[in-house]
Amino acid sequence: QSVLTQPPSASGTPGQRVTISCSGSSSNIGSNYVYWYQQLPGTAPKLLIYRNNQRPSGVPDRFSGSKSGTSASLAISGLRSEDEADYYCAAWDDSLSFVVFGGGTKLTVL
């Protein structure tokens, strides 16, 4: 049972815009930054979004993040086949004193 809640799956067709939600509580998302990671099969998680809505160098601007209260979302516009991956949200939890993760969302590009 993950502390942060994500839908287990999402899908879209090439060119479409998809969003993935992440729900938490006041001790994690509500009071700390949300991070998003992309994990391609057989590889390590790659930082996609940090501090709620910032993109590391090299991440296309098709990826965007937002946060409101105790929820956050990742949006992917202009969906491409190479976006097919697992996506995880994460946030520091003040009550637990460590990082908590969502259970992951498997994105399928139809």
List contacts with another protein (CB under 8 A): 2, 32-35, 43-47, 50-51, 56, 88, 90-92, 94, 97-104
* Strand pairing category for 105-109 and 71-76: unpaired
- Taking the C-alpha atoms of residue 45 and residue 54, their distance in angstroms, rounded to an integer, is 17
- Give Cβ neighbours of residue 60 (< 8 Å, ≥ 6 apart): none
Strands 34-39 and 46-49: antiparallel
- We find the least distance from the C-beta atom of residue 16 to another protein, in angstroms, to be 25
Residue number, 56 or 78, with CB nearest to another protein: 56
The DSSP bridge pattern shows strands 71-76 and 63-68 to be antiparallel
Of residues 37 and 79, the one with the C-beta less far from another protein: 37
Q: Minimum distance from CB of 51 to another protein (Å)?
A: 8
Shortest distance, position 56 Cβ to another protein, whole Å:
8
CB nearer to another protein: pick between 77 and 103 = 103
